[in-house]
Copies of this chain bind each other. A is one copy, B any other.
């Protein structure tokens, strides 16, 4: 993994989509690339937002810590996704922590550089609006899910989503290509690691998934989709 990324990577970042080659060069020139060792905490919730980050390689976990020590995992980011950016553009303190879950590489821009870039390439401002809009819709969706759906459905939906953005085809099925614990899965859906473990075990019985330490392979995505859509009560069986 070279530390000097070419334009092709940057062009895929949604915030910079639609920029021409010169503009992209400009963007790359103002950014700093660096390695993030596994477990490194990149951003701290509550700190002032001074840098915009984009993942080049690896995986970053965005999570919130509650006043009483609980954790809520908001999302996992892969190559091409940005973080810390909206807080910078909106002038608010960082709303969450960011931690590398595997060795990763990122590129980041100081707030001032980003401000310059936006001034020179106004398309970026537009893109950031769309970015914020998408995030808003995502959060509303999750809020709705968490208040109206059962744990099993939320877990199914979450796994499917993760397959979409971090799925790697293997002989066995589709594998989530970064390590994740039951605990973290629980924090994503608002459940305990126990319930997650039980649910995964049950699914494993039915051959829907296959899992081991920090590793999950989905064998039957369709079955998961069916579970996600399942209506209220699974209905009682005949006696």
A residues contacting B by CB (< 8 A) are 64, 66, 68, 70, 72, 74, 86-87, 89-92, 95-96, 125, 128-130, 132-137, 139-140, 142-144, 146-148, 189-190, 231
Considering the complex, give the chain B residue whose CB is closest to the CB of A90: B133
Asked whether, in the complex, the Cβ of B147 is within 8 Å of the Cβ of A74, the reply is no
Residues of B within 8 A of A136 (CB): 86, 90, 95, 132, 135-136, 139
| Shortest Cβ gap from A113 to chain B (Å) | 18
Is the pair A143, B72 in contact by a Cβ cutoff of 8 Å? Answer: yes
A129-B90, A132-B136 known; A143+B146 contact, CB < 8 A: yes
Whether A137 lies near B92 (C-beta < 8 A) is: yes
Copy count, this protein chain: 2
CB pair B90–A132 under 8 Å, yes or no, is yes
A140 touches B70 (CB 8 A): no
Once the chains bind, are B72 and A137 in contact (CB under 8 Å)? no
Q: List 13 A-B contacts (CB under 8 A).
A: A64-B140, A66-B148, A68-B148, A74-B143, A91-B133, A125-B125, A128-B129, A129-B129, A135-B136, A142-B143, A146-B147, A147-B190, A148-B190
Let me know if B90 and A231 touch, CB within 8 A. no
Across the interface, which residues of B come within 8 angstroms of A133, CB to CB?
A: 86-87, 89-92, 132
User: Using Cβ atoms and an 8 Å threshold, which residues of chain B touch A66?
Assistant: 144, 148
Please name the residue on chain B nearest to A190 by beta carbon: B147
